[in-house]
Amino acid sequence: MDAFDTAELAPSSEIAPVGCIPYEKEYEGYWRALRGAIQREEVSDRGATISDLLIDNNPGHYTAWEYRRKWAVQEGLVNEEIEYATEQVVSNPKNYQVWHHHRRLVEILDKPVDALELTQDSLEQDAKNYHAWSYRQWIVKKFDLFSNELEFVSKLIDADVRNNSAWNYRYFLIRETKFDPHSRVVEEPSLVQETSYAIRKSRLAPHNESPWNYIRALARLARIPLADVVGLVDAVRPSNPQTTIENRFTAHMYADILTESDSSADKEAAAKLFQKLMESDPCRRRFWEHKLSTLQKSISRP
């Protein structure tokens, strides 16, 4: 039977669907053909051809990708299928099923193949592609490919200091390479270097939240108070606390540092900062009210 002869490959359903999606007849024919092959447990070159036609019309067709994996494994064509998957990733970089297919093939081969190069090329096109970042995290951790990653992500942050995805990946690298999960300790030199790095980057774009979130995450990871982060207090302390808030991120950080203090005077200063933030940042007024309320409850608690 010809791969394009789809008329009798799948029996018609006796169940009437609630709503029918008006597929193109050509696409519906391909899908009927693949369903027929699956029902007959047929894994063949013809089925692979049909799955290819389906993917050309709908790269998110999960069943077509699953069929191709079974076919590639059966025929011993996993390496060739990875080349096909790579081409599809390049054409459809925001498609989850394409990345998932590539990952499953890498798992089958148990080697990274072209995964680092593929994600790098994808991130050069779109430095905030979630699928590429997620895949790179997985591939680096699975195959222990950390050696050049800090340099890689530094270049992306240099290119765009506001790239929150790159900052998130940098945190992943520090957590995986500089943090001892048993002692729950972050290597002191790395902690100092990374917070200093984030503070320097914050000066390039003072109203960029990413480096401040990065510092908070490192402090939580290391289980240390914000006040103990080397250089942080001096970086965020306002020159004149009585003036209007100029930067909500530094003001927020400094208020949280004061909140952690045992000093009642520091907590009162934090409360005043939250009140000023309510005035200067009305879009987030409810958030600052919550912060102030939480602080006041902690002060009144015996």
Residues tagged active-site: 94
Q: Say how far apart CA 106 and CA 104 lie, in whole Å.
A: 5
Provide the phi-psi class of 249: left if phi over 0, else alpha when psi is between -120 and 50, else beta.
alpha
- At position 186, the amino acid (one-letter code) is V
268 CB neighbour count, 10 Å cutoff: 13
Q: Are 199 and 211 in contact (CB under 8 A)?
A: yes
Provide the phi-psi class of 229: left if phi over 0, else alpha when psi is between -120 and 50, else beta.
beta
DSSP-derived letter for residue 227 is G
Q: Are 202 and 167 in contact (CB under 8 A)?
A: no
